[in-house]
Amino acid sequence: MSNINVRAYEPTPARKVAFLGLGVMGYPMAGHLAAAGHQVKVYNRTAAKSAAWCKEFTQGARPEFAETPRLAAQGADIVFCCVGNDDDLRSVTLGADGAFAGMEPGAIFVDHTTASADVARELYGAAKNLGLSFVDAPVSGGQAGAQNGALTVMCGGDVAAFEAVQPVAMAFSRAFTRMGESGAGQLTKMVNQICIAGLVQGLAEAIAFGQSAGLDMNQVLDVIGKGAAQSWQLDNRGKTMAAGQFDFGFAVDWMRKDLGLVLEEARRNGARLPVTALVDQFYADVQQMGGRRWDTSSLIKRLR
């Protein structure tokens, strides 16, 4: 069964692209690039995942996989990447086997990892010294957004590189927007995660309160979802939270990583984030309960 839900694509000239990192996000994102007609070469730390991806997407674009990021990047116009954290990102870009070593001058590296603004600026500078371009482009929309080709992408970097990448990246995006210079994409993603942390905690408390009061929470969510309390979290996670279902992709471990980036940046820029810091500790509680791989809506488990 395919890991993407294929949709209609705006025609764009076929490009040679690479995709590094075939996790729950990267696997379908790379699939959308292949389905849109681009020639895709993939790399994943576990080669078996690359082989499985190639077997799934053998029609049309003739996908290939490489044993190193450098080999994947050779000959690519654009190298996309979605890995775990700053160290993972450095490991696939820098060094003798890194993507930068295989890219030709003028090629563009697009990083969809949620990472620090510092590493984005560091790699932007390293790329520029080699005649390459680097765009930090973290995504929002979760696993479902990746599978449906409907991610929201927040970008930082040079205008020319952004404009060259945008039509290709629309294969897996519903919005692909430049937010400013290098690092601005990562900072925008931090704003996104601050919003989500507060929303999920508020929704968890509301559902726990309603259940304690004996209300039919499915009915309650239907009603309040038509008013000022409506949100993506309520629409997509409210009823599953009420039912105790927490297997929807974006894990607590990853949210804590993201909030750690947020809180570190806040210490530098002086922003006060009392609710975010508190919710981060609530997620630590969920980890202690054995919920490291539960999705972020599992905050409600603390309240039961």
Catalytic residues: 189
Closest CA to 138 of 125, 163, 119: 119
CA separation for the pair 289, 298 (Å, rounded): 10
- DSSP class of residue 251? B
Contacts of 1 (CB under 8 A, 6+ apart): none
CB 38 within 8 A of CB 171: yes
Closest by CA to 207, choosing from 216, 198, 194, is: 216
Contacts of 296 by beta carbon, 8 Å cutoff, 6+ apart: 196, 200, 250, 251, 252, 255, 283
Distance from C-alpha of 284 to C-alpha of 133, rounded to nearest angstrom: 37
User: CA–CA separation, 130 vs 144, rounded Å?
Assistant: 36
CB-based contacts of 123, cutoff 8 Å, min separation 6: 89, 90, 93, 94, 109, 111, 134
